[in-house]
Amino acid sequence: MSQPAQQQDVPGVQGRMEPVPDCGEQSYEGHGKLTGKVALITGADSGIGRAVAIAYAREGADVVISYLSEHEDAEGTADWVRKAGRTAITIPGDVSDPDHCREIVRRTVEELGRVDILVNNAAYQMNHSDLEEVSDEEWQHTFATNVSAKVDTHMAMPINKSINIFEFQTQATSAHVSISSSASRGRALKAARSSSTSQTFRVPIK
Protein backbone atom coordinates (compact mmCIF):
# COMPACT_ATOMS: atom_id res chain seq x y z
CA MET A 1 0.00 0.00 0.00
CA SER A 2 1.51 3.31 -1.06
CA GLN A 3 1.49 6.15 1.42
CA PRO A 4 1.21 9.83 0.51
CA ALA A 5 4.13 12.09 1.44
CA GLN A 6 3.45 13.67 4.81
CA GLN A 7 5.36 15.49 7.50
CA GLN A 8 4.37 16.81 10.92
CA ASP A 9 6.15 18.90 13.47
CA VAL A 10 7.46 17.01 16.51
CA PRO A 11 5.84 15.30 18.37
CA GLY A 12 3.18 14.76 15.71
CA VAL A 13 -0.38 13.44 15.99
CA GLN A 14 -1.27 9.89 15.00
CA GLY A 15 -4.87 10.79 14.21
CA ARG A 16 -3.67 13.06 11.38
CA MET A 17 -1.61 10.38 9.65
CA GLU A 18 -2.74 8.91 6.35
CA PRO A 19 -3.46 6.07 6.56
CA VAL A 20 -4.03 5.98 10.32
CA PRO A 21 -1.79 3.25 11.86
CA ASP A 22 -3.41 0.01 12.96
CA CYS A 23 -2.89 -0.47 16.71
CA GLY A 24 -5.15 -3.48 17.03
CA GLU A 25 -8.27 -1.46 17.74
CA GLN A 26 -10.45 -3.74 15.61
CA SER A 27 -8.44 -6.95 15.73
CA TYR A 28 -6.88 -7.68 19.13
CA GLU A 29 -8.83 -10.08 21.35
CA GLY A 30 -7.94 -10.38 25.03
CA HIS A 31 -8.06 -13.50 27.18
CA GLY A 32 -7.85 -12.12 30.71
CA LYS A 33 -4.11 -12.79 31.10
CA LEU A 34 -3.54 -9.53 33.02
CA THR A 35 -6.73 -9.35 35.05
CA GLY A 36 -6.32 -7.06 38.05
CA LYS A 37 -2.87 -5.78 37.03
CA VAL A 38 -1.79 -2.13 36.78
CA ALA A 39 0.35 -1.10 33.81
CA LEU A 40 2.28 2.16 33.42
CA ILE A 41 3.16 2.82 29.78
CA THR A 42 5.26 5.77 28.60
CA GLY A 43 4.62 7.05 25.09
CA ALA A 44 1.22 5.35 25.23
CA ASP A 45 -0.64 7.95 23.21
CA SER A 46 0.18 6.43 19.80
CA GLY A 47 2.02 3.76 17.84
CA ILE A 48 3.46 0.82 19.76
CA GLY A 49 2.50 2.45 23.06
CA ARG A 50 -1.17 2.65 22.08
CA ALA A 51 -1.14 -0.92 20.76
CA VAL A 52 0.30 -2.15 24.07
CA ALA A 53 -2.23 -0.13 26.07
CA ILE A 54 -5.14 -1.57 24.09
CA ALA A 55 -3.81 -5.12 24.38
CA TYR A 56 -3.15 -4.84 28.11
CA ALA A 57 -6.60 -3.36 28.75
CA ARG A 58 -8.26 -6.19 26.83
CA GLU A 59 -6.20 -8.63 28.88
CA GLY A 60 -7.67 -7.06 32.02
CA ALA A 61 -5.14 -4.43 33.16
CA ASP A 62 -5.79 -0.86 34.24
CA VAL A 63 -3.53 1.47 32.26
CA VAL A 64 -1.68 4.71 33.00
CA ILE A 65 -1.00 6.55 29.75
CA SER A 66 2.13 8.69 29.98
CA TYR A 67 2.71 11.00 27.01
CA LEU A 68 4.41 14.26 26.08
CA SER A 69 1.73 16.70 24.89
CA GLU A 70 -0.38 14.89 22.28
CA HIS A 71 -3.65 15.27 24.21
CA GLU A 72 -5.86 14.25 21.28
CA ASP A 73 -3.99 10.97 20.76
CA ALA A 74 -3.78 10.24 24.50
CA GLU A 75 -7.53 10.64 24.93
CA GLY A 76 -8.04 8.34 21.96
CA THR A 77 -5.96 5.65 23.68
CA ALA A 78 -7.81 6.23 26.95
CA ASP A 79 -11.14 5.75 25.17
CA TRP A 80 -10.04 2.33 23.91
CA VAL A 81 -8.88 1.31 27.38
CA ARG A 82 -12.20 2.36 28.89
CA LYS A 83 -14.15 0.56 26.16
CA ALA A 84 -12.38 -2.58 27.37
CA GLY A 85 -13.88 -1.93 30.81
CA ARG A 86 -10.62 -0.85 32.45
CA THR A 87 -9.45 2.32 34.18
CA ALA A 88 -7.37 4.75 32.11
CA ILE A 89 -5.35 7.62 33.58
CA THR A 90 -3.59 10.12 31.31
CA ILE A 91 -0.45 11.95 32.50
CA PRO A 92 1.19 14.48 30.17
CA GLY A 93 4.81 15.55 30.58
CA ASP A 94 8.40 15.08 29.42
CA VAL A 95 10.14 11.89 30.59
CA SER A 96 13.52 13.51 29.91
CA ASP A 97 12.87 15.31 33.21
CA PRO A 98 13.77 13.00 36.14
CA ASP A 99 11.21 14.72 38.39
CA HIS A 100 8.45 13.89 35.92
CA CYS A 101 9.52 10.23 35.81
CA ARG A 102 9.16 10.09 39.57
CA GLU A 103 5.82 11.91 39.37
CA ILE A 104 4.20 9.46 36.96
CA VAL A 105 5.19 6.56 39.20
CA ARG A 106 3.94 8.43 42.30
CA ARG A 107 0.58 9.20 40.68
CA THR A 108 0.15 5.64 39.46
CA VAL A 109 0.67 4.27 42.96
CA GLU A 110 -1.48 7.00 44.50
CA GLU A 111 -4.44 6.51 42.14
CA LEU A 112 -4.26 2.77 41.37
CA GLY A 113 -2.42 1.43 44.41
CA ARG A 114 0.64 -0.11 42.76
CA VAL A 115 2.58 -0.74 39.54
CA ASP A 116 2.69 -4.32 38.26
CA ILE A 117 4.01 -3.62 34.77
CA LEU A 118 6.23 -0.80 33.53
CA VAL A 119 6.56 -0.31 29.77
CA ASN A 120 9.28 2.19 28.84
CA ASN A 121 8.23 2.97 25.30
CA ALA A 122 8.71 6.75 25.00
CA ALA A 123 11.62 7.71 22.74
CA TYR A 124 12.99 10.62 20.75
CA GLN A 125 14.73 10.37 17.38
CA MET A 126 15.48 12.78 14.55
CA ASN A 127 16.92 11.99 11.14
CA HIS A 128 20.30 13.46 10.15
CA SER A 129 22.63 12.74 7.26
CA ASP A 130 25.70 13.54 9.35
CA LEU A 131 26.52 13.30 13.06
CA GLU A 132 27.84 16.86 12.98
CA GLU A 133 24.27 18.05 12.39
CA VAL A 134 23.27 16.93 15.88
CA SER A 135 23.45 19.81 18.35
CA ASP A 136 24.59 19.39 21.94
CA GLU A 137 21.06 20.12 23.08
CA GLU A 138 19.53 17.47 20.81
CA TRP A 139 22.11 14.90 21.88
CA GLN A 140 21.43 15.54 25.56
CA HIS A 141 17.65 15.48 25.08
CA THR A 142 17.82 12.23 23.10
CA PHE A 143 19.97 10.54 25.75
CA ALA A 144 17.79 11.82 28.58
CA THR A 145 14.62 10.53 26.88
CA ASN A 146 15.90 7.21 25.54
CA VAL A 147 18.30 6.19 28.31
CA SER A 148 18.09 8.23 31.52
CA ALA A 149 14.28 8.13 31.67
CA LYS A 150 14.36 4.34 31.82
CA VAL A 151 16.70 4.38 34.81
CA ASP A 152 14.70 7.17 36.47
CA THR A 153 11.40 5.28 36.21
CA HIS A 154 13.03 2.04 37.40
CA MET A 155 14.52 3.79 40.41
CA ALA A 156 11.20 5.43 41.30
CA MET A 157 9.46 2.07 41.68
CA PRO A 158 8.42 1.00 45.19
CA ILE A 159 11.13 -0.93 47.02
CA ASN A 160 10.78 -4.71 47.32
CA LYS A 161 7.98 -4.88 44.78
CA SER A 162 8.19 -7.38 41.94
CA ILE A 163 7.63 -5.47 38.70
CA ASN A 164 7.75 -6.56 35.08
CA ILE A 165 9.66 -3.99 33.04
CA PHE A 166 9.47 -3.76 29.25
CA GLU A 167 11.53 -1.37 27.12
CA PHE A 168 10.81 -0.61 23.47
CA GLN A 169 13.22 1.28 21.21
CA THR A 170 11.72 1.78 17.78
CA GLN A 171 13.41 2.53 14.48
CA ALA A 172 12.16 2.76 10.92
CA THR A 173 12.81 -0.91 10.13
CA SER A 174 12.98 -2.69 13.47
CA ALA A 175 12.03 -2.60 17.12
CA HIS A 176 14.34 -3.48 20.00
CA VAL A 177 12.57 -5.01 22.97
CA SER A 178 14.29 -5.46 26.32
CA ILE A 179 12.50 -7.45 29.01
CA SER A 180 13.51 -7.70 32.65
CA SER A 181 11.92 -8.38 36.02
CA SER A 182 13.01 -6.46 39.10
CA ALA A 183 12.21 -6.84 42.77
CA SER A 184 13.98 -3.76 44.08
CA ARG A 185 15.60 -0.50 43.05
CA GLY A 186 19.02 -2.09 43.15
CA ARG A 187 18.03 -4.88 40.80
CA ALA A 188 16.19 -2.44 38.54
CA LEU A 189 19.31 -0.33 38.16
CA LYS A 190 21.38 -3.43 37.50
CA ALA A 191 18.89 -4.51 34.85
CA ALA A 192 19.18 -1.14 33.17
CA ARG A 193 22.98 -1.29 33.11
CA SER A 194 23.70 -4.93 32.34
CA SER A 195 22.63 -6.88 29.30
CA SER A 196 23.03 -10.06 31.36
CA THR A 197 19.79 -9.25 33.23
CA SER A 198 17.66 -8.66 30.15
CA GLN A 199 16.75 -10.31 26.87
CA THR A 200 17.01 -8.29 23.66
CA PHE A 201 15.16 -9.15 20.46
CA ARG A 202 15.16 -7.59 16.97
CA VAL A 203 11.65 -7.68 15.56
CA PRO A 204 11.16 -6.79 11.87
CA ILE A 205 8.43 -4.27 11.15
CA LYS A 206 6.73 -4.64 7.79
**Domains of the chain, residue spans:** 21-204
Residue ranges for the chain with pLDDT beneath 70: 1-18, 159-206
> In terms of Cα–Cα distance, which of 4, 45, 49 is closest to 168?
49
Fold of domain 21-204: Rossmann fold (3.40.50)
Give SS3 for 37.
Answer: coil
pLDDT, residue 181, reads 42
pLDDT, residue 124, reads 81
pTM of the model: 0.73
DSSP state of 197: G
